[in-house]
């Protein structure tokens, strides 16, 4: 035990020096927009299915000095669209239009892996809303779905307070088992630091 004494003393002195250092906290906002694609498997794929669309997200993150950050994300994502003419049904022939979109409200945890690489994951709800037109009638159903997200981003600092980069994201909305992949351009800005 005697020859460990200097090492234990060195560790205790280092820890006490760290405890005296001011730790920094930051509030960071990010906005992103880009391309999304629905990658779900449909049992009976409808005619006129369009899987591509727009995604836009906004998040606010609390970043303490350690690796993990906490925050919330919201925004808008296109899920899919069906646009088909002269579809035969048991009630006759009709044009069909359906558009499904979602507003995520998610709690996020993220971690910077170093050199601008950030991974994040989250859980929450998606507000799913549709617009459907068939046989000249319109409906706009609205449902709430649970869901999760995972993302990988690469950010490049452009000043002390801001960064620009790209994010690859996956959304899963469990109500109809929809899965979307997206690629966004992202801008982040450090609002406060204390």
Q: Does 14 have pLDDT greater than 90?
A: no
Contact 162, 30 (CB under 8 A): no
The pLDDT-based confidence of 19 (bands split at 50, 70, 90) is very low
Q: What is the pLDDT of residue 75?
A: 98
Domain boundaries, the chain: 23-193
Question: Bridge partners of 72?
Answer: 60, 107
From residue 133, how far is each of 84, 86, 103, 141, 176 by CA, in Å?
A: 11, 13, 21, 11, 20
Q: What is the pLDDT of residue 3?
A: 57
Q: What is the pLDDT of residue 20?
A: 46
Tell me the whole-structure pTM to 2 decimals: 0.81
pLDDT digits (tens, 9 = 90+) for 110-132: 999 888 999 999 999 999 999 98
Q: What is the pLDDT of residue 124?
A: 96
What is the topology classification, in CATH, of domain 23-193?
Answer: Porin (2.40.160)
The pLDDT-based confidence of 58 (bands split at 50, 70, 90) is very high
* 41, 47, 52, 53 alpha-carbon torsion, rounded to 10°: -120
Dist. CA 172–CA 194, nearest whole Å:
35
């Amino acid at each position: 035990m005697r020859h460990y004494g200097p090492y234990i003393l060195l560790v205790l002195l280092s820890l006490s020096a760290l405890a005296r250092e001011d730790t920094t906290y930051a509030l960071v906002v990010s906005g992103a927009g880009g391309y999304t694609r629905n990658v779900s498997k449909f049992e009976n794929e409808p005619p006129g299915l369009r899987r591509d669309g727009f995604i836009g997200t906004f998040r606010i993150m609390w970043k303490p000095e350690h690796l993990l950050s906490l925050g919330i994300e919201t925004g808008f994502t296109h899920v899919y669209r069906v646009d088909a003419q002269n579809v035969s049904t048991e009630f006759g022939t009709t044009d069909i239009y359906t558009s499904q979109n979602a507003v995520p409200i998610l709690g996020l945890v993220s971690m910077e892996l170093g050199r601008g690489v950030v991974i994040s994951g989250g859980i929450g709800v998606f507000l799913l809303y549709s617009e459907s037109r068939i046989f000249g009638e319109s409906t706009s159903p609205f449902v709430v779905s649970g869901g999760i997200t995972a993302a990988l981003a690469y950010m490049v600092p452009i000043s002390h307070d801001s960064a620009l980069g790209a994010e690859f994201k996956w959304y899963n909305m469990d109500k109809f088992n929809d899965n979307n992949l997206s690629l966004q351009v992202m801008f982040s800005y450090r609002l406060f630091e204390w």
